[in-house]
């Protein structure tokens, strides 16, 4: 059972979709079409204990940082719960794939997938380290949540790595933190040239509505900062570390960075 879209993505990618007995609504884009009617057992904050007892899964796979309290609750009720670490880097994300594969006796499949991803990412990683800090587009990543709260990413996140590999520089790359809510004045003072906003796939929001409600971003937009809303999807995703979106997301970030570089003198 998986309560994380990224974990669900790993399970499907290593050929373990037949082992999944329950998911969250947010996992659906990562499921194969023939298994999208799986039991919905919970979400990021809640879980249906009655359904869980009925399904009796061998493992309940949770995501640290968002499921910490749920982990303790389910363990106290006797369920076999595994808390998968929230990756602090792209390497951590790859390590998670191997770990999840080991749980489900998919060692070969998980390691083969990681080897393929490393092979695909290697040219981009090698190229990115040739770019000095002074020649990088400053990028602000914002996660917009359905209740219109927002967070960003510090140094200890996979998305910080993805921005770097894409040739950019997360404006909070020097903040030793995971995900946090920044002060508006800190966002402005770090002078991003590109703002990428992660929008959950269930949300319907356009750029005008977003700028109207996020006055600090609107001000940066007026100053010439490029703002892009990126809706979460199976292929491109700023919020999830699963293998399906890893390489495509880096490429999309790089595309926007190249557009900004073509319009600004760094």
Within the chain, all domains assigned CATH 3.40.50.1980 are found at 5-118, 131-263
Distances (CA, A) of 73 to 45, 236, 260: 11, 33, 47
Q: Does domain 131-263 have CATH number 3.40.50.80?
A: no
Mean pLDDT, to the nearest integer, of 189-205? 94
- List, in order, residues 6 or more apart from 60 with CB less than 8 Å away: 1, 3, 52, 74, 79, 80, 81, 82
Q: pLDDT class for 265, splitting at 50, 70, 90?
A: low
Q: pLDDT class for 237, splitting at 50, 70, 90?
A: very high
Q: What pLDDT, in 10s, does the model give residues 156-185?
A: 999 999 999 999 999 999 999 999 999 999
pLDDT at 173: 97
Instruction: Take residue 226 and report the two structure tokens written for it.
Output: 């490029």
pLDDT at 34: 58
CA distance 24 to 201: 14
> Mind giving me the DSSP string for 136-175?
SEEEEEEEE-TTS-EEEE-SSSHHHHHHHHTTEEETTTTS
Report the CATH number of the 5-118 domain: 3.40.50.1980
Indicate the pairing of strand 137-144 with strand 150-153: antiparallel
Instruction: Take residue 61 and report the two structure tokens written for it.
Output: 């796979």
> Tokens 């977003």 identify what position?
210
Long-range residue pairs from 203-208, CB within 8 A, at least 24 positions apart, any chain: 203/144, 203/146, 203/231, 205/144, 205/229
Is there a contact between 140 and 149 (Cβ–Cβ < 8 Å)? Answer: no
């Amino acid at each position: 059972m998986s309560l994380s879209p990224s974990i669900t993505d790993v399970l499907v990618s290593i050929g373990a979709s037949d082992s999944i007995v329950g998911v969250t609504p947010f996992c659906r884009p990562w499921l194969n079409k023939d298994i999208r009617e799986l039991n919905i057992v919970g979400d990021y904050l809640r879980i249906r204990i009655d359904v869980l007892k009925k399904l009796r899964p061998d493992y309940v796979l949770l995501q640290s940082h968002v499921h910490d309290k749920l982990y303790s609750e389910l363990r106290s009720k006797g369920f076999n719960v595994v808390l998968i670490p929230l990756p602090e880097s792209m390497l951590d994300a790859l390590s998670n794939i191997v770990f999840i594969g080991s749980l489900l006796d998919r060692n070969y499949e998980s390691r083969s997938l990681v080897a393929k991803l490393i092979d695909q990412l290697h040219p981009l990683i090698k190229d990115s380290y040739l770019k000095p800090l002074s020649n990088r587009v400053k990028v602000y990543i914002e996660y917009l949540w359905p209740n219109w709260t927002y967070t960003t990413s510090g140094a200890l996140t996979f998305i910080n790595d993805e921005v770097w590999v894409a040739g950019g520089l997360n404006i909070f790359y020097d903040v030793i933190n995971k995900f946090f809510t920044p002060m508006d004045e800190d966002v402005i003072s770090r002078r991003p040239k590109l703002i990428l906003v992660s929008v959950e796939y269930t949300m319907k929001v356009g750029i005008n509505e977003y700028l109207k409600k996020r006055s600090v971003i609107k001000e940066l937009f007026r100053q010439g900062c490029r703002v892009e809303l990126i809706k979460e999807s199976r292929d491109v995703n700023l919020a999830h570390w699963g293998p399906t979106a890893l390489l495509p997301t880096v490429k999309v970030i790089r595309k926007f960075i190249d557009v900004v570089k073509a319009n600004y003198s760094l």
